[in-house]
Amino acid sequence: MAPVLPLVLPLQPRIRLAQCLWLLSWLLVVVGGLTLLCSGHLLVQLWHLGTFLAPSCPVAALPQVALAASAVALGTGLVGSGASRASLDAAQYPPWRGVLGPLLVAGTAGGGGLLVLALGLALALPGTLDTGLEEGLGTALANYKDTEVPGRCQAKRLLDELQLRHHCCGRHGYKDWFGIQWVSNRYLDPNDQDVVDRIQSNVEGLYLIDGVPFSCCNPHSPRPCLQSQLSDPHAHPLFDPRQPNLNLWAQGCHEVLLGHLQGLASTLGNMLTVTFLLQTLVLLGLRYLQTALEGLGGVIDGEGEAQGYLFSAGLKDMLKTVWLQGGVARRPAPEEAPPEEEPPKEGLPEA
């Protein structure tokens, strides 16, 4: 049975392969550590912005899987650096012979699978974030006025901090505040005729105004912030509705948060891609080095031309061997035939 992708490795190429693997392994350690940090940073950001994401939005799956994949890559790099360095010394390599096999299996099946899954989640994240932010921000705006409702007491503070920190207003713009009641009923005067008229003119009984909360104000504006009667062109002669960013934050929080989180996810996706490529090179190199040394009995300074390979036999031969072994195992043992009865011996004639 011919091996898969054989490669002849004399002494000097084996030494250079071990040296290159040592460098690649430490590079994998560095990249795996950076990927670990990027995954943790994205997970913390999602945790802080969890209030503005739909509860059913599985965005945390990406950093969690990326954390596991980067941890496996980090371990693969550390073990690979030790094994490649030990392979240059015939006295240090024998203890590593039992480690390389499990490392290759775990790194290929576990680490490779986790990296591929993380890359798939990174590609699917923009659509998931878009839907989650759309629903989560809508709920946050609707709960803004409920400062005395259990479970929603912090909604106003969190949304104000979000708009101030990220320089955004509303879900898609400042006019989103015109369509919801964001002023609590406790601050409305029931004897004020304007309040009564606004509530009665709305089919849902809401108090709607063409104004925004203070957190939508741009502190860099050269004039005091204009928060009310924003749709009345005669109320504020110097206010230009076509340039609201001179007074209010023009961008909606959906666009700002989506761009922020997509940027972090894109960085993480690039780091995962580099980690995947480095881990693939390290595992392939370790496999060739392992099989070449096994052909020489684990002696790195053997003068013979060792042959490295990925698999000891082709896929067809391997499947055939497994099938034959399984067939032998499934074949029932032949029933033992009953022992034949010996014919009766004739008596000897009497003398």
pLDDT on residue 135? 92
Biggest alpha carbon distance in the chain? 152
Q: Which residue has the higher pLDDT, 32 or 9?
A: 32
> What is the pLDDT confidence band of residue 241, given thresholds at 50, 70 and 90?
low
Q: What is the mean pLDDT of residues 16-40?
A: 91
Return contacts of 214-217, CB within 8 angstroms, 24+ apart: 214/160, 215/159, 215/160, 215/161, 215/163, 215/164, 215/169, 216/163, 216/169, 216/170, 216/174, 216/177, 216/248, 216/249, 217/247, 217/248, 217/249
pLDDT on residue 330? 46
For the cut 80, the answer to whether the pLDDT of residue 146 exceeds it is: yes
Distance CA 93, CA 44 (A): 42
For the cut 60, the answer to whether the pLDDT of residue 90 exceeds it is: yes
Residue 275 near residue 34, CB atoms below 8 Å = no
Q: What is the mean pLDDT of residues 234-258?
A: 75
pLDDT on residue 310? 62
As a whole number, the mean pLDDT across the chain is 79
Distance CA 211, CA 231 (A): 8
Which of 81, 4, 13 has its CA nearest to residue 302?
Answer: 13
Residue 96 near residue 87, CB atoms below 8 Å = yes
What percent of the chain lies above the pLDDT cut of 90? 23
Distance CA 22, CA 13 (A): 14
Residue 27 near residue 105, CB atoms below 8 Å = no
Q: What is the mean pLDDT of residues 89-117?
A: 75
Global pTM? 0.76
pLDDT on residue 140? 92
> What is the pLDDT confidence band of residue 87, given thresholds at 50, 70 and 90?
confident
Residue 186 near residue 213, CB atoms below 8 Å = no
Q: What is the mean pLDDT of residues 264-281?
A: 90
pLDDT on residue 240? 60
Q: Look at residue 97 and give its three-state secondary structure.
A: helix
Distance CA 62, CA 344 (A): 84
Q: What is the mean pLDDT of residues 36-53?
A: 91
pLDDT on residue 3? 60
Distance CA 6, CA 163 (A): 61
Q: Which residue has the higher pLDDT, 71 or 108?
A: 71
> What is the pLDDT confidence band of residue 91, given thresholds at 50, 70 and 90?
low
* 7 CA to centre of own chain: 35
CA-based R_g, the chain, Å:
36
* 59 CA to centre of own chain: 9
Q: What is the mean pLDDT of residues 134-152?
A: 88
For residue 174, the tally of other CB atoms under 10 A from its CB is 26
Distance CA 303, CA 62 (A): 49
For the cut 50, the answer to whether the pLDDT of residue 44 exceeds it is: yes
pLDDT digits (tens, 9 = 90+) for 163-189: 999 999 999 998 999 989 998 888 888
Q: Alpha-carbon torsion 31, 34, 38, 44, what sign? A: positive
> What is the pLDDT confidence band of residue 32, given thresholds at 50, 70 and 90?
very high
pLDDT digits (tens, 9 = 90+) for 282-309: 888 888 777 777 766 555 555 556 666 6
